[in-house]
Amino acid sequence: MRRDRDRQSGDVRAAAKSCCDRRGPHGMLACGARPVEGNTVTSAPAPGSPHTEALSHKERMLAGEHYLADDPELTADALRAEQLADRYNATRAGDQRARDAILRELLAEVGEEAVVRPPLRADYGYQTTIGPRTFVNWGLVLADVGRVTIGADVQIGPNVQLLTPTHPVDPEPRRAKWEASQPITLGDNVWLGGGVIVCPGVTIGENTVVGAGSVVVRDLPANVVAVGNPARVVREI
């Protein structure tokens, strides 16, 4: 039984390559890091359990538990975020006051002098905070089902993706549309080059630089340069 489970886990990792090769919380597949020993449950929570019955799907999502995204409350929240992003992306060049107002309505917190160039996309917006003096170039994707925390003085290049959602390995709960998330944290003064993808559950330490096109699947310490797919530390700063 253990041998079969190990073989199955190895097959999943081989098929998924460097991204999506860890079983995350609740057996969800987290884009990137290694499998956690003993964390191999791959089914959704029992619908009749007292804990899950007591929570709405939005409350489950905010707690990082399994939830269904087509829940009416979450559908309305996603529509709100899409509409605000549409307004933001339609603002005129140079109208920073309008952009600031919409961004603060969309996101949970935006620090002073933070700049986010449109276009911008977010799942919900209210799960994301951006610290002061942070600069975000065009095309940021915030898959903020889980919490996304962006520190102060962060530099984010064009077309960066911050991806918190996770999905079950087993086909049936995935077909039933159960999902969960793991948070992403970018420390102060981090620089992400263009096209970087940050996978669920990743924390990047302060001052760290991630080269363009890298896929970050594991935590990165502070004060290093990391590049590649998967991103690996190549030197200290």
Residues annotated as part of the active site: 167
On the CB side of 164, CA atoms within 13 Å amount to 26
The full DSSP string for 28-79 is EEESSSPPPTT----SPPPTT-HHHHTS-HHHHHHTT--EETTSHHHHHHHH
Concatenating the DSSP letter of every residue in 99-142 gives: HHHHHHHHSSEE-TT-EEPSPEEESSSTTEEE-TT-EE-TTEEE
7-14: long-range contacts at Cβ-Cβ below 8 A with a sequence spacing of 24 or more? Answer: 9/35, 9/40, 12/169
Q: Do 20 and 30 touch, CB atoms closer than 8 A?
A: yes
* Residue 196: both structure tokens together: 């970087």
Number of helical H runs and strand E runs in the chain: 6, 22
Q: What's the chain's length in residues? A: 237
Q: Where do we find the tokens 């986010």?
A: 116
